[in-house]
C-alpha cells in the first residue's frame, strides 16, 4: 500500500498498479531524457514526467519528476 510519506517509494507490482489506478488517464507516451516514459498534465496544471526503467519486458522502476524544467528532454511519442 501507499506509505504515509508521499515521497516514499511504492514497491511491488501490485502496489504500484493500485497506486496508478485512476491517475494515469492523461498519460501520453514520451521519451524522457532518451528513455521510455510518459508525460502527464494534471487538471490542476502540473506537468509530471514519468521515466521508466525497463528490464526485459517489465517496467522495474518509475521515477516521477514534477514540473520538469528545461534540463529534462521530453519527446512525445506517436
CB 49 within 8 A of CB 74: yes
Q: What's the grid cell of residue 27?
A: 498519460
Where along the chain do its domains lie? 26-76
Instruction: Give 61's Cβ-side CA count (13 Å radius).
Output: 4
Q: How confident is the model at residue 68 (pLDDT cuts 50, 70, 90)?
A: low
Chain segment 27-56, per-residue pLDDT in tens: 889 998 888 999 888 777 778 888 999 999
Rounded average pLDDT over 63-75: 75
pLDDT in the model for residue 6 = 59
Q: What pTM does this model have? A: 0.70
Amino acid at each position: 500500500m501507499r506509505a504515509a510519506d508521499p515521497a516514499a517509494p511504492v514497491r511491488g507490482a501490485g502496489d504500484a498498479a493500485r497506486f496508478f489506478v485512476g491517475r494515469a488517464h492523461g498519460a501520453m507516451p514520451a521519451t524522457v531524457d532518451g528513455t521510455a516514459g510518459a508525460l502527464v498534465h494534471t487538471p490542476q496544471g502540473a506537468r509530471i514526467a514519468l521515466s521508466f526503467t525497463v528490464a526485459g519486458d517489465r517496467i522495474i522502476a518509475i521515477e516521477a519528476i514534477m514540473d520538469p524544467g528545461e534540463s529534462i528532454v521530453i519527446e512525445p511519442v506517436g
